[in-house]
Structure 1
Amino acid sequence: MTSRAHRRDIPAALAHRGFCPEGAENTVEAFRAARDLGYEWVETDVNTTADGVVLSFHDETLDRVTAGSGKVSALSWEQIRAERVAGAGGIPRLADLLTELPGLKFNLDVKDEASVTALPALLHELGAVERVRVTSFSESRRRRTLRRIRELEGRSVPTSSGKEGMRLLLVCSWLGGPSWRLARRAVARWIEPFDTVQIPRCYRPRGGPEVRLVTPRFIDFAHRHGIDVHVWTVNETDEMAELLELGVDGIVTDRADRLASLLARRGQWPPRSREP
């Protein structure tokens, strides 16, 4: 079973792209809605325009959530700023979110190559490194972003693993023993250390059966090595409750209202100020 000594009094609650039941994800309105529910942490994504403006926006292109089209990286801020997400709020600059919502902290997923240099420069300029956790599915982008932040700030920031780190931790949890210590040494040049793994509960390989990733064994293994486990994207209250009983350290959700209500019933809401 999960080590009770490791479990947090209050689990990390992360509002996935803010709180936007109507679909206006990653907008100022969505992040304000999460803040108004009591959230300290929101999850968002960063893409950077052709002229170097870091946006809170998930996709490579505008096509899915706006009436516009084209790659964010090929368009200027002036070409993008009039677009509306799901017909509602505009696409925000990350700088505006950091200045207009000073009480929020941001779990940032680096989605594109330009953000590897643009994001650290922006965080340094705004003095905002204490308000972020940096991650990316691409281990290369995550590693280079973190190293650039260290160059500018002289310190590290909290980070969750990329895809490769997550897979390595999973394999080592199955092997057990000293596997993680040995693996970390072997891949130190390519995989940056991480304090958190953000992971789906299950994974279904193409054409294969569903595999349960978040198990008591995995959670206990991660905790024994000082790594927190956040599970995404969990939207049903019963599953949230089950995962919390398993001992996960955080939940990323589209239904920030449901998670806040559940934590309130457990006497764990609102969150005290802390890192997730």
Structure 2
Amino acid sequence: MNNTCEIFAHRGSSIDHPENTMAAFQAAYEIGADGIEFDVQLTKDLVPVVIHDETLDRTTTGYGLVSDHTKEQLKTLDAGTWFDTQYADESIPTLEEVLVWASDKFIKLNIELKGHVNQRESLIQKVIPMIQTYQLERHVILSSFDHVCIKEVKKLAPEMEAAAIVTAALHEPLTYLRSLGVEGYHYMSPLLLKEEAGVLIDAGVHIRPYTVNEEDMLRRYIQWGCAGIFTDHPKLALTIRDEK
């Protein structure tokens, strides 16, 4: 198997822990995941916090928009009980909490930038200096479905890897990615044919499919030579990758 393919735990080890919580991140680290993937957006008082949905309803005891609440308000919510009552003490992490946790660990952080376009500039201005403060520039990938945002990231922090996320196959993806100046292409599995993937890999693009949970698909993408894979099952993916 291709042992250079990095396994990213999607929202942490989310198959057996509440997604985007410190418990899920710690579990992914303990099983040996190469990286964790998580989502960041801004609170009402412009604090970057880790939560996937724009609304609180699905994964917390709160309701309404994340951006309508302050950090202090969000910190009163339970972000674990929806998954299992044993995680009742889990809260919504701030980005800073995750960076502090990661600062003494050998683990990559794929930070997906989310939120409304009118918060784009504020989000970038908050996230990039925070990463630099903890000297994690070389351990971070900044990704987004907002390609305007990700192009701006590369202007402001060219030393950080950035990636465009897509949900549809692109025409001439290499040309497009080079126009953005990004290194990474995070595509919804299975949008690429093997030969298309090969062209991108040969050109030095870091391709990483998401969210890959089936054993046969994990094995396929590892064999292709993908730079990484996002999965809810990091333990399974690591077992397959490390097969002799």
TM-score, normalisation: structure 1: 0.76
Equivalent pairs counted in the alignment come to 230
SS at match of 1:44: strand
> C-alpha separation between the residues in 2 aligned to 1:141 and 1:123?
16
Residue deviations 1:40-78, cap 9 Å, x none?
311111011111211111111111111201211121111
Aligned partner of 2:243 among 265, 268, 272:
265
> C-alpha separation between the residues in 2 aligned to 1:184 and 1:49?
30
Could you tell me which residue of structure 1 aligns to residue 135 of structure 2? 127
Contact 2:47 2:94 in 1 (8 A): yes
Structure 2 counterparts to residues 198-209 of structure 1, below 5 A: 198-202=186-190
> C-alpha separation between the residues in 2 aligned to 1:184 and 1:111?
19
Could you tell me which residue of structure 1 aligns to residue 27 of structure 2? 33
> C-alpha separation between the residues in 1 aligned to 2:43 and 2:202?
41
Q: Does 1:223 align with 2:201?
A: yes
Aligned partner of 1:20 among 8, 14, 18:
14
Residue deviations 1:66-118, cap 9 Å, x none?
12012111211110002122412211111111112331321011002242221
Unaligned runs of at least 5 residues, structure 2: 82-86
1:135 Cα deviation from its structure 2 partner: 0.9
Q: Quick check: 114-123 or 68-77, which moved more?
A: 114-123
1:184 Cα deviation from its structure 2 partner: 6.7
Structure 2 counterparts to residues 1-276 of structure 1, below 5 A: 9-87=3-81, 88=87, 89-102=90-103, 103=105, 104-112=107-115, 113=119, 114-148=122-156, 150=157, 155-163=158-166, 167=169, 170-172=170-172, 180=174, 188=179, 192-202=180-190, 213-266=191-244
Q: Quick check: 192-201 or 133-142, which moved more?
A: 192-201
Unaligned runs of at least 5 residues, structure 1: 1-6, 174-179, 203-212, 267-276
Q: Quick check: 56-65 or 111-120, which moved more?
A: 111-120
SS at match of 1:135: strand
Contact 1:117 1:145 in 2 (8 A): no
1:19 Cα deviation from its structure 2 partner: 0.3
Judged with a 3 Å threshold, the aligned counterparts in structure 2 of structure 1 residues 121 and 246 are, in CA distance, closer, same or farther, namely closer
What value does the CA root-mean-square deviation take over the aligned residues? 2.2
SS at match of 1:108: strand
* Identity of matched residues, %: 24
Code of the residue aligned with 1:133 in structure 2: it is: I
> C-alpha separation between the residues in 2 aligned to 1:246 and 1:264?
15
SS at match of 2:197: helix
1:246 Cα deviation from its structure 2 partner: 3.1
> C-alpha separation between the residues in 2 aligned to 1:184 and 1:237?
29
Structure number with bigger Rg: 1
